[in-house]
């Protein structure tokens, strides 16, 4: 039987990920502090702490991958037409506003994907918090289990 205290701690572990909007890296610091301080008290808290931390690490990894894919598209667009071997300044550098590049579309699609992923992340955190409040276990989707 789970106590209300255990449910509350598990709920706050998930909700503490929102501290990133106030504290840099708060989405890692908050859950880790709550989890480490309480993981030995309950298997329920231990499970929810691991899930929250694994989800935040997975989100960071996915953001790095999306950023790594997106940045080259913008670099290729900016430096398009510049000859690096015979470089004499930026007199040949221009940006054509009239005709968008396909690279711009790809970068825009990846940016839109990042926005949708951010919204889904917020939704999943709220769902996990509600499940913890109700005393249920929750597994975040698309999470890599770094902590087992």
pTM for the structure as a whole:
0.78
Whether 57 contacts 146, CB under 8 Å: yes
Q: Is the torsion defined by CA of 28, 142, 125, 127 positive or negative?
A: negative
Q: Which tens digit of pLDDT belongs to each residue from 4-46? A: 999 999 999 999 999 999 999 999 999 999 999 999 999 999 9
Q: What percent of the chain has pLDDT over 90?
A: 57
Average pLDDT of 86-98? 56
Question: Predicted confidence band at 56 (pLDDT cuts at 50, 70, 90)?
Answer: very high
Q: Which two tokens stand for residue 75?
A: 């670099």
d(CA 148, CA 141): 16
Give the pLDDT confidence score for residue 79 in this predicted structure. Answer: 65
């Amino acid at each position: 039987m789970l106590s209300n205290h255990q449910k509350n701690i598990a709920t706050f572990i998930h909700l503490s990920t929102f501290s990133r909007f106030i504290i840099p890296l708060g989405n890692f610091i908050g859950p880790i502090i709550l989890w480490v301080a309480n993981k030995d008290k309950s298997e329920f808290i231990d499970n929810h702490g691991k899930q929250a931390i694994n989800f935040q690490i997975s989100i960071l990894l996915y953001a790095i991958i999306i950023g790594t894919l997106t940045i080259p598209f913008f670099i290729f667009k900016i430096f398009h037409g510049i000859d690096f071997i015979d470089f004499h300044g930026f007199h040949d550098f221009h940006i054509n506003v009239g005709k968008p590049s396909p690279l711009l579309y790809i970068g825009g699609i990846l940016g839109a994907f990042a926005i949708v992923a951010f919204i889904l992340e917020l939704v999943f955190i709220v769902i996990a918090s509600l499940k913890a409040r109700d005393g249920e276990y929750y597994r975040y989707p698309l999470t890599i289990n770094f902590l087992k």
